[in-house]
Structure 1
Amino acid sequence: MKASLPYKYITSVKNGKQYVVFDYKDKAGKRKRKWVSTGLPEKCTKKALNEAVEEIVADFADKWNNNQVVFNTAPKKNTEDESEPVVINQELSDFFSEWLTAIKPNAARTTYQCYKRIMERFMKYMSAEYPDVTLADLNHSQIQTFLNYKMDQGLKGSSVKQYYLAIHSAFMWAVKMEILPQHPMDKMVMPRAERHEAVFYNEDELNELFEVFKDHKLELIVHIAAYYGLRRCEILGLKWDSIDFKKKTISIERKVVSDYDENGKPKLFVETRLKTNSTRRTLPLIPHIEEMLLEKKKMDKHYKKLGGKEYSTEFEGFVCCDPYGKLISPNTVTHDFHEVIKKNGLKMLRFHDLRHSCASLLLANDIPMKAIQEWLGHATFNITANLYSHLEYNAKVASAETISRVLGAKKEETPAESEQSAKTETESEKPAPKKSNSRKKKKDAPAESSHPTAV
């Protein structure tokens, strides 16, 4: 909204059409909201929308300056140009729909879908427990009751925390847009998430895993996950132009996520907007992975020639395609990985835990935590430290030895050392042999010294 004017305005979508929404106060100091249609559909060019908005705002400003804006007119229904009070008492479902529409352009697809699912579940609960509560009536106790309900359902603290953050974000937007005078969750305390200790495979378990995935369509994906610790979406987003066989590098530049299209059908989306800036990184090409990639590239050419017109080219250029040219989906990776592990009786873990396995092996071989952060593409050092600091046992041993040496603590004796120590003590208790008289006489004789005695 433009705060430098006596009124504010934003663009918003309503019923599939673009509107300019003006926000101002009437003569009595009550806030009003006026919706003016641009005449454009939701999907229109940026240039057309900007031109329409400029024209509408200029017209509104002219009316405002000439006192032609009607303050107390009752809102008219079924009109595209209507004046109405600020919707502080609007239905919760309408508010959340408005919020989701507002954040969608700047939110990652997975984040948006997560928020959408949370709001749907929150609204389902509110409709059952508090059917008459509107946005203005909602308070922190009702939200807290909902979070407690999710805890009682068996959700972990970390999951309930995600619910809290999503709902908090929605109402923060409402306060920012002056739809609400204050945040209804100000008195609440964020749920405490339990510390997550990652499950991981050691070196022997990983080698066994590689063996059971030999010649499986996920073989390359599993190896890349274990060697590089890449996220599932990052592996599926690899293209051949991301791999430089001459410079021996591999670059993480895009991701593949699963979502639903406008018809509600599952669809794979390729996105170049990654989780954080640190996620976009270039790493050395490991020789073992290079060999597997070269073999995969060779087989892709063979399958394409063999398939002819039946070979899919929708995701041509991507590394993780099946023999028919179709990109392997995130859900397929998760499902097949679990099934193979279960079938072969291996220790159960998620596909994402291969990322943790990579980090644990690096730590076990004395790779600094900062280097691991850059390898995994974590946004901050704290994320890496919080996840893997409990695995850094070598550093703890070194710390114990250092403090022991500094404070002079007695080193714990082994059984052999204890036996030798006891033997020495026994010998020291025996009476000393008598000294010869000649020794004694020699000792009694005054010693000559070429140096004067200090006084």
Structure 2
Amino acid sequence: MASYDDLGFGKFKIYVELGYDDRGKRKRRTKTVSARSQRDLNKKIRDFEIKCFNEKDEPIDKISFKSFVERWIKNHVKPNLTLTSKESYEYLLNDCGILNHFGEMKLKDIKKYHIVEYLANEQAENKPLIPNKYLLLKSIFARAFEWDVISSNPTAGIKEPKRDKRKVDFYNEQELNHLFTVLNDCYPKHRIMIKLAAIGGLRRGEILGIREESINYDNNSIYIDKQLRYDKHSKQFYLAPVKNKKPRTVYFPKEFMDELDKYHLQFKARRMQMGNLWRGIYDENDEMINLLLVREDGYPTHLNTMRNQWDKIKKRYDLKNISFHQLRHSCASLMVKKGINFKVIQERLGHANIGITLDLYSHLEEDQHKESANVFEHLF
């Protein structure tokens, strides 16, 4: 039911009564509007009333999957998880079809079979990210069960779908040598970024998150504790913790650090020359974040820009077509070939555990497998 107060001067306050919540508290929504006539006012009252009833809360025992997901994001994801996690969940829910499939179903009516059937159909159609979808559903229903919205968790006992074995492509030692040769003709910033990936094994966001204070020229290392991210909703860059929230110190050859130092000096001279035209970004204390690998005007470099520049360099020099991320695999591959301990490789790459490193890289060099047979030759 709707009513209104005349505030004078053509303004009106509309009231829409929505009953009472679970605690017996009266629910009412209001809106102040301007109206030229009674007919115009009646239309605005009707439109607002329809909007309120379309958006009103459902009884907890009849809540739909879509409505619960909105509360799950508001009460769990936003307060406790990173913006990166929220964006990943929204991508799975909206772009990958989870909401489209389960959205209108009542949460309490979704049974184990519905989830098993959904995952099986996704696999049959070769849809991507099936294990990620399973883990997201598991998280949603676990929270619904914890909050007493449902009496049992339909994801309990469902096995996680197997992840496809990731194909790891990379540059071998000779290809890396060729890459570093052609990089001598490239723009300094691009050369530095590519070497940070190929030598340091850094991710794109980690490279762009390097600040001046991250670099230690005395011991030839860079402290990797942040990654640059972009919030597509607010259209702003921000620094987030590194993946797995495990900062690490990565050591580099002195030759590379000398090259970085030279770039750094040129960077500081350019910033000084720009003066007030320098477009840096600022932290919550309104202090400039001293990012190093930025655009000419000091504004952060977008992750997609880095990828696009790498694609141009590959094409210009007819390099083997691997992704920017696979430069990181190239770093790991060379270390495996040189016999570096896998624990060291894990820590350099920032993997959560050594199992990930072993799974990805223990089989990279076929020649090493062949050579392993030679160990037993003296027995014959």
Distance in 1, Cα, partners of 2:81 & 2:118: 25
Distance in 2, Cα, partners of 1:342 & 1:88: 58
Residue 252 (structure 1) aligned with residue 220 (structure 2): no
> Deviations 1:252-281 (Å, cap 9, x if unpaired)?
121111222xxx34321112x33225x311
Residue 226 (structure 1) aligned with residue 198 (structure 2): yes
Contact 1:373–1:380 under 8 Å retained in 2? yes
> Deviations 1:356-386 (Å, cap 9, x if unpaired)?
1000000111111122112212221111111
Contact 1:212–1:340 under 8 Å retained in 2? no
Contact 1:210–1:222 under 8 Å retained in 2? no
Q: Residue 88 of structure 1 aligns to a residue in which SS?
A: helix
Structure 2 match to 1:294: 261
Structure 1 match to 2:60: 87
Contact 1:161–1:192 under 8 Å retained in 2? yes
Q: CA deviation at 1:94?
A: 0.8
Structure 1 match to 2:92: 118
Map 1:99-138 onto structure 2 (within 5 A). 99-101=72-74, 102-120=76-94, 121-126=97-102, 131=104, 133-138=105-110
Distance change in 2, residues 1:343/1:284 (3 Å):
closer
Map 1:151-230 onto structure 2 (within 5 A). 151-156=123-128, 159-213=129-183, 214-216=185-187, 217-230=189-202
Contact 2:66–2:102 under 8 Å retained in 1? no
Q: Residue 243 of structure 2 aligns to a residue in which SS?
A: coil
Q: Which of structures 1 and 2 has the bigger CA Rg? A: 1
Structure 2 match to 1:276: 244
Structure 1 match to 2:113: 141
Structure 1 match to 2:7: none
Structure 2 match to 1:307: 274
Distance change in 2, residues 1:305/1:351 (3 Å):
same
Structure 2 match to 1:333: 306
Letter in 1 for 2:88: C
Distance in 2, Cα, partners of 1:171 & 1:104: 17
Give the alignment's TM-score, normalised by structure 2: 0.76
Distance change in 2, residues 1:171/1:220 (3 Å):
same
Distance in 2, Cα, partners of 1:296 & 1:35: 66
Q: Residue 60 of structure 2 aligns to a residue in which SS?
A: coil
Structure 2 match to 1:445: none
Which of 317, 320, 334 is the equivalent residue of 1:361? 334
Structure 1 residue ranges without an equivalent (≥5): 1-31, 38-77, 79-83, 410-455
Structure 2 match to 1:266: 235
Distance change in 2, residues 1:285/1:400 (3 Å):
closer
Distance in 1, Cα, partners of 2:177 & 2:235: 34
Letter in 2 for 1:124: N
Distance in 2, Cα, partners of 1:165 & 1:97: 17
Distance change in 2, residues 1:176/1:221 (3 Å):
same
Contact 1:136–1:180 under 8 Å retained in 2? yes
Distance in 1, Cα, partners of 2:300 & 2:318: 28
Residue 322 (structure 1) aligned with residue 295 (structure 2): yes
Count of matched residue positions in the alignment of Structure 1 and Structure 2: 320
Contact 1:171–1:183 under 8 Å retained in 2? yes
Q: CA deviation at 1:145?
A: 3.7
Q: CA deviation at 1:394?
A: 6.7
Which structure has more RCO (C-alpha within 8 Å, separation ≥ 6)?
A: 2
Distance in 2, Cα, partners of 1:35 & 1:320: 56
Q: Give me the identity figure in percent.
A: 27
Distance change in 2, residues 1:345/1:248 (3 Å):
closer
Contact 2:293–2:300 under 8 Å retained in 1? yes
Contact 1:91–1:135 under 8 Å retained in 2? yes
Give the alignment's TM-score, normalised by structure 1: 0.64
Distance change in 2, residues 1:85/1:92 (3 Å):
closer
Q: CA deviation at 1:149?
A: 4.2
Contact 2:280–2:298 under 8 Å retained in 1? yes
Distance change in 2, residues 1:190/1:35 (3 Å):
farther
Structure 1 match to 2:210: 238
- In angstroms, what is the RMSD of aligned CA positions? 2.7
Q: Residue 136 of structure 1 aligns to a residue in which SS?
A: helix
Q: CA deviation at 1:340?
A: 2.8
Distance in 2, Cα, partners of 1:148 & 1:333: 37
